[in-house]
Chain A
């Protein structure tokens, strides 16, 4: 591998963008294909399949065997709300292998004492998102119950096409939320992507159980590759 390819690949990975290393096994010739450029590559179809499936593998071409190594960003969970549920979700998410971070402007909630070792942003979501925007490999869980905090990141997640978007609250609370989103001009097809009430329907009754339910739903969305639902035409583009 040429060092320039290695450096460019690591740059894509650090920026949380998908990329594929294409290696002609007979000759050793190699190129890096960024997700944004996949459509223009001679192996566009195979490369796009590798990105969508997340699976690397060999494809047969006229030039012989070509190995496609798909590098996808690691999945991360962003919780909007440094609440009791997040205290249970933080260690569980880490054990399950997800990056995990919390955004909550209320410094009394988002304190290192309550969340030792967890990435905390004690700022307004709109400010955090300027520097660290969501991407399709991000799951967003809005769990503050406060529209002032929840709505901006929720809309951002819908517009980004995050692979999982869940919102805490009763059906009544969610009904009011849907009204606000409609007023903000969010299309119905996007609103329907929100998992609400949040998490798998297992009758979760306390913060720890709700965290399990949320994590189950996030894992389901991740493993069933829901980050690509729009591209597969299963849902309208967010």
Chain B
């Protein structure tokens, strides 16, 4: 876990990126139903160029979260996203595992 903390730790990365003056959004899994790949509390940090670190799913919905995050960085207001098989977007970006997740995206400022 020490390696995780120094190399892959999302919140440390967020702090470092913010210190470099990059504009960021932080996405957090706030609720899960069924078999969700990443537990509640998991983070993804995104910068204005679309670079990201961390995960909110097994890679299924990160692309969609990143594009929403770019809007949040511009607009400044937080946004709640929902992904899952019950959602019509499932055909586009969904969770193949059959779960459903809510992701809160906020600007780091």
Q: Which positions in A face B, CB cutoff 8 Å? A: 1-3, 6-7, 9-10, 13-14, 23, 25, 28, 30, 55-58, 67, 69-71, 74-76, 97-99, 119
Contact = CB atoms under 8 A, between A and B. Distances in A.
Contact of A69 (B5, B41, B77): B41
Interface of B: 1-2, 4-5, 11-12, 14-15, 18, 26, 28, 30-31, 39-41, 77-78, 80, 104, 106-109
Contacts, number: 63
Contact of A6 (B14, B31, B104): B14
Contacts of B77: 28
B18 A25 contact: no
B15 A25 contact: no
Secondary structure type dominating chain B contacts: mixed
Contacts of B31: 57-58
Given A1-B26, A10-B12, A99 B2 contact: yes
Given A3-B108, A6-B11, A6-B15, A25 B41 contact: no
Nearest to B41: A56
B11 A10 contact: yes
Given A6-B14, A6-B18, A25-B30, A56 B1 contact: no
Given A9-B11, A67-B30, A74-B5, A1 B40 contact: no
Nearest to B1: A74
